[in-house]
Structure 1
Amino acid sequence: MKKDIITTKEFVYLRISRTIEQQILDNALRTGDKLPSLRTICREYGVSQNTALSAYYHLESKMLIEARPQSGYYVRYSRTRLPSMPMKTSPSNASNYSESELLVREVYSNLGQDGHMALSLGTPANELLPIAKLNKGLVQATRDLTGSGVNSDKVEGNERLRRQIARWSFAMECNFSYKDIITTSGCLNALSYCMMAVTEKGDTVAMESPVSFGMLQLAQALGVKVLELPTHPETGVDLNAFEDALKSGEVKASLLISNFSNPLGCCMPDENKKAAVELSEKFNIPLIENDLNGDVYFGQRRPKSCKTYDRSGIVLWCGSVSKTLAPGYRVGWVVPGRFKETVLRMKLFLTIATTSITQEVIANFLETGRYENHLRKLRHTLHGNMLQFSRTISDHFPEDTMASRPQGGFVLWVELPKGINTLSIYEKANQEQIYYAPGRIFSLQNQYNNCLRLNYGLVWNKELEQRLIQLGHLLKNS
């Protein structure tokens, strides 16, 4: 009974906060407007003061409202202060692997140094992760596992973890068994198995553009060519270009980040995901889906995946907790559909088995509900951070700067006026101990030189705000 009461309270405060949030987004409540008092909220909604406070705290966490001492709560959000959205990209077909690799090495050569503001990474800060609970989970795992975790697991991976992943998949309306899942050492490892399973050296793989440099480097390592496709910063890959690529007969596979892509932060609408799967089935071309950030959504529910619409096994769905819970644990997975035996063979040849003890810890987090509790807090924090980043960019970056408006994930794509080269300014920012990812590294072509990617998965504070303002001044004076 107690659990039911708690769930009801949570639902009520969220319902109140969503109503007020929509009024703010619709401009019915404007920046600076005073919100109803807590007593008024209690009376209008028939709730306790604690529930009313929870609703306002939730809106505060999203940086939509602010409390003023001895005065009440006020709207702080302003749609007009957000930068404009970038336009759809239009990549060409020329590629330069060697130049791209050198740029990635240069940008990431000094990571991990103390005092550097790591705006370039796409992962949350340690302060946002439940490290103490993970440490307790490690101790428990050594007690629960045979041999205290030193024994090798099955090639398929930890069965308890695979069962939990299968259960978790119901949130995106997928229906697969734990037997369909293979665990991996992170998402990139899952993607590599998939690429090796469905392509050969010299083949062409279609990807969105810009795209995670990790996926570009993987293609380079496997000797695979990349066809970069036009991509919209809100809706993802252009479906007409996607269809033309599959129809050409040159493409042997596609690799898409369906939810909150890196670096644009775009999320493919459900109808686009369905259409992409249908096109893949029509031309019998495997679709490798990177769904790494799907759990970090700012809306009311987790977005579906391309795998949701897969009826023939054409989609190889990859995921991980490397971005959401424990980057260093390297726990990932893949549901490879009709390519399961080939992917399993790749894992057997290259890895044999994945680390048993970290898989056990993650399985426990999923099973006990601690993962969802952690994600709920993380989503609120990241949504607020994204809004703060957007406002700071609008106020302090060069005029006519545009920025994506992701509805989930960790990264923001910033497009500056054409005359600004973010790679050359990178060295100046480095001297100021500010790191960002220049746009050029997210393509194999000579493009996106006036763009950069920022990580808002940090702890928002005065220091971070000042570093962003400082970066804005560097860009203005370049």
Structure 2
Amino acid sequence: MTLRGVRDFAYQAVYRYMINLINEVSTDTRVKLPSLRQLSLRLNVSISTIQYAYSLLEKEGRVYSVAKSGYYVWPLASNPMAMPSGDLLERLYVAARRPGMVVLSGDEPALLASLDGTLLRLERELVRQYPHPSQPWSQPCGVWELRAALAARYTSSPTRCWHADDVYIGADLQGVLDILIEVLGLRGATVVVESPCDWLILRLLQDAGVRILELPWAHDGSLDLVSLEGMLRGESVRLVLLSSAINLPSGFAMLPHDCLGVARLLDHYGCWLLENDTYGELGFKPPPVALRDVVNPERLVVFSSFEKILGPEAPYAYALSRHMSSELQRQFLLRSFRLSSIRQRAIARLYHSGRIDQHLRNLRPLLSQQADEMSQRLAQHVGNQVTCRMPAGGATLWLGSTHAVDMRQVFQHLLARQVVVAPGELFSVGGLHHQHFRLSHTFHGQPDLEIALAALSEALRRAQIG
């Protein structure tokens, strides 16, 4: 089956195919659907197109995904409380994708402002210009236009400059991180990771047998440089993984003093930096400095994705590195990412035309306003039950309970009320953040929000320990 055409975009045809497939396999037990790669080969379309179709089905509550496993069809006779009994992250994933749930655990900044229409218009224009790509496999690291646009965006000086050949584009963040783990030789190595840290990153490192040392952010938004130096001096640390400017979910912006301190320590101990720039452009205010602009560029690798800015229609991720080019090219070639060249070129045009910058100028104040409004609502409903520090960017709030609570009990109680939050323990591998949870603030005009926040207050009260 080949899905082509200018008027009928591929993901729409894939979506209809998946609807029919779901109707065929639906039973009273959960059924696993074909993987992204299997469907890509079956339907002769890119992995990103399959992923976008799956994301639409998830939002409609027709399917759900399980980390490191795949996509599943909801059982026909499913009980709303029939959750997996084991892994907490799997339970969260399943619950968040059930129809009728108020999902306060998400992290989707682009919900407030979308470039869907603009991206589709650009794709239509490009389809007319490139109706039949003659060499779909000729650019395994991404199309040159997008790589050049990213290289230009990350260049800040003649000595801190990037070129298109330093940029590598993959299907999604997980795929790019898998490659970086391999190329950087992290399997079985020791890595210092800021904490809290995104659970996708933590799970991938754990699966690779990486020994993780957690460097917690302090309550005042600073990094403990004394602890970092102790780790670098006393351990054989392969690299340090830190955010470029803003750590999420904590919402802390890195202080200029801490940036310089980290750079000094990394340089002194000859340690590499793996910089997470996923939220680097989502700060409410421009950061005074990004970490990559002060560390040694010869021992630096940066990774990020488009999804947080553009939404699920742009799931691609990318890495920037001046070194290890032959091994990076080899790994990207072996992965055989089937990325839509048309969509990549459309994203590149968003950068070249300045539309990305305009989009961010519109998105940042919306995110800031939503964070402020959610903070006010939390003050009304949970009052002194939680601590809430205003974030420096992003689409979530990092909340801490002012009383000792069983956060898993809070999580379970809220599920019974059809509300989903993200417990803080998911953002640590060493038992940190058990009294915290992440809450999305990108809720614009949600009628169930007041009920959900009242349920949160009740859950925190019932789960108090002692």
TM bracket (short chain): 0.7 to 0.9
- Equivalent residue number for residue 276 of structure 2: 290
- Equivalent residue number for residue 253 of structure 1: 239
State the TM-score, normalizing by the size of structure 2: 0.74
Letter in structure 2 aligned against 1:409: G
Letter in structure 1 aligned against 2:373: Q
Contact 1:233 1:266 in 2 (8 A): no
- Equivalent residue number for residue 141 of structure 2: 156
One of 412, 415, 421 as aligned partner of 1:427 = 412
SS of aligned partner of 1:318: strand
- Equivalent residue number for residue 324 of structure 2: 339
- Equivalents in 1 of 2:222, 2:319: separation in Å? 22
Aligned-pair distance for 1:321?
A: 1.2
Residues 241-299 of structure 1, C-alpha deviation per residue, up to 9 Å, x if partnerless?
12211112322111112322222111212332233233223222211000111111211
Aligned-pair distance for 1:465?
A: 4.0
Aligned-pair distance for 1:110?
A: 2.6
Assess, with a 3 A threshold, how the Cα gap between structure 1 residues 442 and 415 changes in structure 2: closer, same or farther: same
Aligned-pair distance for 1:237?
A: 3.3
Contact 1:234 1:406 in 2 (8 A): no
One of 305, 308, 329 as aligned partner of 1:323 = 308
Letter in structure 1 aligned against 2:408: L
- Equivalents in 2 of 1:342, 1:218: separation in Å? 20
- Equivalents in 2 of 1:196, 1:233: separation in Å? 34
- Equivalent residue number for residue 464 of structure 1: 449
One of 188, 191, 208 as aligned partner of 1:205 = 191
- Equivalents in 1 of 2:260, 2:238: separation in Å? 20
Contact 2:108 2:311 in 1 (8 A): no
Task: Confirm or deny that 1:165 pairs with 2:150.
Answer: yes
Bigger shift: residues 235-244 or 359-368: 235-244
Letter in structure 2 aligned against 1:305: A
SS of aligned partner of 2:142: coil
- Equivalent residue number for residue 313 of structure 1: 298
* Number of aligned residues: 378
Aligned-pair distance for 1:316?
A: 0.4
Contact 1:107 1:437 in 2 (8 A): yes
Aligned-pair distance for 1:462?
A: 4.7
One of 248, 251, 254 as aligned partner of 1:262 = 248
Aligned-pair distance for 1:351?
A: 3.3
- Equivalent residue number for residue 14 of structure 1: none
SS of aligned partner of 1:237: coil
SS of aligned partner of 1:115: coil
One of 127, 132, 135 as aligned partner of 1:142 = 127
- Equivalents in 2 of 1:341, 1:238: separation in Å? 36
Letter in structure 2 aligned against 1:226: I
Letter in structure 2 aligned against 1:363: A
Contact 1:172 1:302 in 2 (8 A): no
Residues 390-409 of structure 1, C-alpha deviation per residue, up to 9 Å, x if partnerless?
22222221525212321111
- Equivalents in 1 of 2:327, 2:439: separation in Å? 37
Residues 93-135 of structure 1, C-alpha deviation per residue, up to 9 Å, x if partnerless?
xxxxxxx981111111233333222211111364531222222
State the TM-score, normalizing by the size of structure 1: 0.73
- Equivalents in 2 of 1:461, 1:373: separation in Å? 26
Bigger shift: residues 413-422 or 315-324: 413-422
- Equivalents in 1 of 2:307, 2:399: separation in Å? 24
- Equivalents in 1 of 2:104, 2:164: separation in Å? 37
- Equivalents in 1 of 2:259, 2:326: separation in Å? 25
Aligned-pair distance for 1:313?
A: 1.5
- Equivalents in 1 of 2:342, 2:328: separation in Å? 22
Give runs of ≥4 in structure 1 deviating > 4 Å: 170-174
Identify which of structures 1 and 2 has the higher relative contact order when contacts are C-alpha pairs closer than 8 Å and 6+ apart: 1
Assess, with a 3 A threshold, how the Cα gap between structure 1 residues 157 and 292 changes in structure 2: closer, same or farther: same
Assess, with a 3 A threshold, how the Cα gap between structure 1 residues 144 and 223 changes in structure 2: closer, same or farther: farther
Aligned-pair distance for 1:367?
A: 1.4
Bigger shift: residues 123-132 or 415-424: 123-132
Task: Confirm or deny that 1:225 pairs with 2:211.
Answer: yes
- Equivalent residue number for residue 376 of structure 1: 361
Aligned-pair distance for 1:197?
A: 1.7
